[in-house]
Chains A and B, each alone.
Chain A
């Protein structure tokens, strides 16, 4: 059984990322369950995708301390979901903070760096992805989800490899967005390795 959580903010493409992971696992004949916990907000709200792959899966929800890996699309959302990471689980986090849409009204105290510092203190296996650099290389914010998928595939947490994931991208994504997504996927893979080597 492999339990994966993706945590982010509505609009970041977490749900599509979870569907792609599920499809790749299905292509390898694994049983799959996925579900999302979504706050009231449609856009800009917290979104957590639960993805379970294996056989005889009961609950669609992953219980606390049972995620093998968490892909945090946003630092605060990574912190919020941290109690679900297993003690030796892997956290991949993109360090770009998404301010809440109400921050301008209520005054803004949220800093992404505070969250990253907290993760550094509390997570054994932590890979921090430089979001600004990733965006610059990908050139399109809409492919960041696929890029982060690339980082996660490269970490080896999934029961499928990069080629199998790419086959799913080819089967699933519209032709006109395929090239840019495949490119972002490779950038994600490379950045994972660069970050690991640097760290």
Chain B
């Protein structure tokens, strides 16, 4: 059949649709978001798709569908699984009827996350099988394998891609659909009600299953051994593709290698094992370890494969040296790159590996640090001369972003006051940057409101603000407000409602009245929700109306209890821009107040005068309020 260029996330979505998934739920989070969006985009009415309010809810909705015998899939990023961990742990005890795949996208780096956690651990902890694809095309067929495995054991399964699989594209061969079974429906039975006695009985089955799964996986085609020799490399995930590249790289020592030869013929002199699953395929790994003196384990995030091999060596009294993250030969933070892996494989297979290995590890780290600093990717071995100083391009709030206006208003209104500003997860975390400097804490989804309460318990002389976005408010913000009201805490919650889930690419949420099925639903008004929570006072304002926005702060600052400011203005990506503002160069004194107070990327200095870049300016107009000389003008955006 035809080949298509697919992003890994698209491949996972199409693979699930091919495998007969019926219900798909999730919460947006980089790098997982496009999976659910792709299913929604290709939905011909045969699939149910929803953005749930948070990951716990998403997992539970998908679990219910699987109870009724349908194949279901739930998507999230790695930190989302922390939110969903409660149902995850219990669900494995209860089990499912229809196949259920929990897609959890890990983010080595981390590139766009709070943590670098490894979901393979979560799988082990929850005693749930994990499938770990290396490429988009492998992910495409692996989804079907995961559904089959899930139904065979009657347990949920995790599919764990990483950023470099989710967001890279490959030519993928599109296969025939697998015939879809009609769900049998939910059967009333005591097996669905979790009780200690049932959990004890099921724990015995789970442990037994784990052993059977390990044996299954020793024969699974995605776990395999190639090549032979006294040295071995064990790898998985995207690192497998880097190792394959390294074994094809002439600098590693495999001379006159043609592009068309497969890895198996190339890795003569080196045994290679690819691991794509957990539970660990112990029988396969023992076969791999047979006759080896040394093994290099190349994986991202945590040393999962490495620990399994060390355990096996101990258990079977094998004298094989295992090198990897625990020995400092593979870095233990950040993404692997093809270059870092080539360097590690080269020294592992090189003549003087033992003598130089530690140094080599340091060299790799050094080269990677240079690369990630994005200032100079020049390795010390390169012949290039030292480049001129390269510009740093940090993330900033967009020109015209309503969050800038909100932060600015609160900052101006609380000038001189002893205030602490707690932030949350979303674009508005960027309010931490100078010159706004309005985010003092940020922990995880919904934690701004609750951390502010704890801070205030200790220092009641300070004013505690908590900023939260609209999607985060629905995700985990509401219980925090209820807690503050119930426990009579004095905090000011500032809700930044920009009418979208901006950071992950503009997904709808309950406040917008749109669903992923294309339906119009009732809008759940944030104002009405908060009003019903018995807060002391709630004020709403347009943040671009600087005076009104500052007055909103003034109206609540001297009150007690939980006060809420609701700033409402849409993200620039979901609304039309107004005419750009312009600087009157006659009036502009070049004082730079507009630049130094707002940090708007549309305002720059052109010689001794400020200039507004018309391609970036959205006409939000707050700079006109900042200018003391009336030098900035245009049509207001209110």
Does A195 make an interface contact (CB < 8 A)? no
A104 pairs with B604, CB closer than 8 A: yes
* Closest chain B residue, CB of each to CB of A47: B393
Does A100 make an interface contact (CB < 8 A)? yes
A76 pairs with B377, CB closer than 8 A: no
Complex CA–CA separation, A99 to B391 (angstroms): 8
Max chain A Cβ within 10 angstroms of own Cβ: one of B135, B387, B615: B387
Max chain B Cβ within 10 angstroms of own Cβ: one of A34, A64, A104: A104
Residues of chain B lying within 8 A (CB to CB) of residue A30: 171
* Closest chain B residue, CB of each to CB of A53: B171
Within 8 A of B (CB), among A1-60: 1, 9, 19, 22-23, 26, 30-36, 38-46, 54-56, 58-60
Does A71 make an interface contact (CB < 8 A)? no
Q: A35-B168, A46-B374, A83-B378 are in contact. Are A102 and B394 (CB under 8 A)?
A: yes
Q: How many A-B residue pairs have CB under 8 A?
A: 155
Within 8 A of B (CB), among A89-129: 99-105, 108-110, 114-115, 118, 121-122
* Closest chain B residue, CB of each to CB of A31: B171
Residues of chain A lying within 8 A (CB to CB) of residue B164: 35, 60-61
Distance (whole angstroms) from the CB of A72 to the closest CB of chain B: 13
Max chain B Cβ within 10 angstroms of own Cβ: one of A30, A55, A105, A122: A105
Does B260 make an interface contact (CB < 8 A)? yes
Complex CA–CA separation, A9 to B391 (angstroms): 11
Does B385 make an interface contact (CB < 8 A)? yes
Complex CA–CA separation, A80 to B485 (angstroms): 52
Complex CA–CA separation, A36 to B398 (angstroms): 21
B599 pairs with A105, CB closer than 8 A: yes
Distance (whole angstroms) from the CB of B388 to the closest CB of chain A: 4
Residue interface bits B79-123, CB-to-A below 8 A is 1, else 0: 000000000000000000000000000000001100000000000
Residues of chain B lying within 8 A (CB to CB) of residue A84: 377
Does A161 make an interface contact (CB < 8 A)? no
B338 pairs with A63, CB closer than 8 A: yes
Distance (whole angstroms) from the CB of B11 to the closest CB of chain A: 12
Complex CA–CA separation, A194 to B284 (angstroms): 60
Complex CA–CA separation, A115 to B389 (angstroms): 9
Residues of chain B lying within 8 A (CB to CB) of residue A101: 393, 396, 601
Residues of chain B lying within 8 A (CB to CB) of residue A32: 5, 169-171
A35 pairs with B169, CB closer than 8 A: yes
* Closest chain A residue, CB of each to CB of B434: A105
Complex CA–CA separation, A83 to B261 (angstroms): 27
Which secondary structure characterizes the binding site on chain B?
Answer: loop
Does B447 make an interface contact (CB < 8 A)? no
A105 pairs with B394, CB closer than 8 A: no
Stretch at the interface among B243-251, B326-334, B464-472: B243-251
A56 pairs with B338, CB closer than 8 A: no
Does A173 make an interface contact (CB < 8 A)? no
Q: A46-B393, A58-B248, A103-B604 are in contact. Are A122 and B385 (CB under 8 A)?
A: yes
A80 pairs with B374, CB closer than 8 A: yes
Does A149 make an interface contact (CB < 8 A)? no
Does A182 make an interface contact (CB < 8 A)? no
B387 pairs with A82, CB closer than 8 A: yes
Within 8 A of A (CB), among B560-615: 595-596, 599, 601, 603-605, 615
Within 8 A of A (CB), among B377-397: 377-379, 382, 384-385, 387-396
Given contacts A39-B393, A100-B394, 20 further A-B contacts (CB under 8 A): A35-B168, A40-B394, A42-B395, A43-B398, A55-B259, A55-B260, A56-B259, A58-B241, A60-B164, A61-B337, A80-B374, A81-B377, A82-B378, A82-B387, A102-B392, A104-B595, A104-B605, A115-B388, A118-B388, A122-B384
Enumerate 12 A-B pairs (CB-CB under 8 Å) in ascending A order.
Answer: A31-B171, A32-B169, A35-B164, A38-B111, A40-B111, A43-B398, A43-B601, A61-B339, A76-B391, A82-B378, A102-B599, A121-B385
Q: Which residues of B does A touch, CB under 8 Å?
A: 3, 5, 111-112, 135, 164, 167-171, 238, 241-242, 244-245, 248-249, 259-263, 337-339, 342, 374, 376-379, 382, 384-385, 387-396, 398, 434-435, 595-596, 599, 601, 603-605, 615
- Closest 5 pairs (CB-CB, A-B): A101-B601, A35-B168, A41-B395, A58-B244, A59-B245
